[in-house]
Amino acid sequence: MNYSAELVELIEEFKEIDDKMERLEMVFELADEVNLLPSDQWTDSTRVHGCQSEAHVKIGLVNSNVNFQAGADSKLVQGLMGILTMAIHGCDANIVLELTPNFASEMGILNSLSPSRSNGFRNMFDKVMNEIRTQLEAQL
Amino acid sequence: MREEFPILQREINGYPLVYFDNAATTQKPNSVINAMNDYYSNSNANVHRAVHTLAGEATEGYESCRSALKARFNANKAIITSGTTEAINLVAHAWGRANLSDGDAIILTEMEHHSDIVPWQMLAQEMNIELRFIPVQKDLTLDMDLFEAAIEGAKLVCVVHISNVLGVCNPVEKIIDIAHRNGARVLLDAAQSAPHQDINFEELGADFMAFSAHKMCGPTGIGALLVTDDAFDEMQPFMGGGDMIETVSIRGSTYQKNEQKFEAGTPRIAEAIGWTEAIKWLNSVDIKTEHKRILNSARWLANQLRNLGMKVYARHGDNDAAVVSFLHPTMNSEDLAHLLDARGFAVRTGHHCAQPLLERLEINGTVRVSLYFYNTHEEVVSFVEYFTEIMERFA
């Protein structure tokens, strides 16, 4: 998948930051990019399993474009959700399915996280992709 | 002291490592690292029966650990295990199965580590044993009135000496006295106290005491169960295999009479040799003075954190450990730990394997700073300075 211009810019910005604290600060700021899934809509079906925090995602398709909502009790996790929002929200679902979690590795953000957090990110990514795939198939 | 610990020279993300996760495990001095390296380089062999030189050196090295343990803690019997968890499981299997029966009761506390809960739950389910849990009160102490009320009919009391979450030191002398007056044996989980106190096992009077090497500057994968002679005589072999037998024939086996009866299989030889050096190191430390010093740093840290709006879970009485568990009112603990790690501060977050205690405190986890003798007050000051910066930038 070709990354959106916004995502390419973000990857470049992350690559330029050497300081771990500044990189984490940037992830924190990206928490604001999330289309918030309010906590009263968190259910077992929205929950990202294998994540140490409470992390929830909800996928909808609008004319085959991805509508991504998410929320977490950790601002860092919500920041990761913000990055995923920039990568997939509003994009064509068929194109989104070509995405791999490599973009997060390219940013170097997974190296800044504990192994459990980076596993959590991958679990979130897999859950989102599976939901998109399921909903696309249901439309056929 | 710090120069003896090579890892303390390390930098994390370009900043000096400030290691505040000592309740989880401590760092190792050169003497421990070198002794283990020397064993594998020069003396590696299996222990006991063989007569060659290397086997003799390995046996001497392994048994020197037992001698060092007995001397340091004034104990007659020291069974070497894989750690505190195995030591507690050994009591459950070797003593519990032989001395408990249907309808008996065991007393535990809500402050116990999972290692001192789960083995008893498993045994209770299997043998129909009642588990009575002593509650933790709002002031973070055990409810001793309820303990006295619960002791009647109990055969065993399992109590943590120092809480790994709160650093609170429990009144174990009183607990042992009450338990013994009521005919119950006492198992002390000393994982957090053995590294921080000079414990005289015989004087203290517990029947069993379990602890790990790695929390007292020794290697991982090794620990011990100290046992009184009386309690030892009540234990039946648990794990069968080499080293624990006297004779084996196809008609049956006879067992060793000493601690080896509970040390089946090739033991942890290199680890025992490393632990011996750690005990020597600890013997050289003026524990009372050092404990007072780091406890004062912990008290200061707790006050600073309170001033910054944190909820602190600690008492910091004179015998309590230099542990500061705290929570930010809104900020996620793991987010905080990530930000701390960015500047080289190693702390622990989560439930600390003590979920019943956290349930009582109505929280899911804490951020825990735990100090050891090689930590300095300057490190604690730098922690507060950086923590203040985090609050200004992120909270």
Average pLDDT over residues A12-29: 87
Active site residue B353: yes
Average pLDDT over residues A55-75: 91
Domain tally for chain A? 1
The span from the CA of A9 to the CA of A21, in Å, is: 20
Which residues between 37 and 66 in chain A have a beta carbon less than 8 angstroms from any beta carbon of chain B?
52-53
On the question of a common fold for B2-20+286-394 and B31-283, the answer reads: no
Beta strands of A1-136 (E only): which ranges?
A: 55-62, 65-72
Instruction: Count the Cβ atoms, other than its own, within 10 Å of residue B200.
Output: 12
Closest chain A CA to residue B14? A19
From A24, A73, A117, residue closest to B339, measured CB to CB: A24
Residues in CB range of A119: below 8 A, 6 or more apart: A50
Residue type at B385 in one-letter notation: E
Residue type at B60 in one-letter notation: E
Q: Is the pLDDT of residue A1 over 70?
A: no
Q: For residue range B143-198, what is the model confidence (pLDDT) as tens digits?
A: 999 999 999 999 999 999 999 989 999 999 999 999 999 999 999 999 999 999 99
Give pLDDT, residue B12. 93
Residue A59's domain is classified under what CATH number? 3.90.1010.10
Domain range spanning residue A57?
Answer: 5-139
The span from the CA of B1 to the CA of B375, in Å, is: 10
Is there a contact between B169 and B161 (Cβ–Cβ < 8 Å)?
Answer: yes
The nearest CA of chain B is from the CA of A29 a distance in Å of: 10
CATH topology of domain B31-283: Aspartate Aminotransferase; domain 2 (3.40.640)
Q: Any CB–CB contact under 8 A between B332 and chain A?
A: yes
Q: Is the pLDDT of residue B68 over 70?
A: yes
Q: Any CB–CB contact under 8 A between A16 and chain B?
A: no
Question: What residues form DSSP beta bridges with A55?
Answer: A72
Q: Is the pLDDT of residue A56 over 80?
A: yes
Is there a contact between B313 and B141 (Cβ–Cβ < 8 Å)?
Answer: no
The span from the CA of B33 to the CA of B307, in Å, is: 41
Tokens, residue B41: 């380089």
What CATH code would you report for B2-20+286-394?
3.90.1150.10
Q: For residue range B313-351, what is the model confidence (pLDDT) as tens digits?
A: 999 999 999 999 999 998 989 899 999 999 999 999 877
Residue type at A79 in one-letter notation: G
Residues in CB range of B3: below 8 A, 6 or more apart: none
**Phi and psi angles of residue B134, each rounded to the nearest 5 degrees, phi first:** -85, 125
From B335, B342, B393, residue closest to A75, measured CB to CB: B335
**Phi and psi angles of residue B102, each rounded to the nearest 5 degrees, phi first:** -40, 125
Is there a contact between B337 and B367 (Cβ–Cβ < 8 Å)?
Answer: yes
Give pLDDT, residue A15. 83
Q: Which residues of A touch B13 (CB under 8 A)?
A: 19-21
Average pLDDT over residues B359-368: 87
A25 vs B394: CB contact, 8 Å cut-off? yes
The pTM score is 0.90
Question: To the nearest whole percent, how much of chain B has pLDDT over 90?
Answer: 83
B342 vs A19: CB contact, 8 Å cut-off? yes
The span from the CA of A25 to the CA of A18, in Å, is: 12
ipTM confidence = 0.84
Give pLDDT, residue B149. 93
- The residue ranges of every structural domain in chain B are 2-20+286-394, 31-283
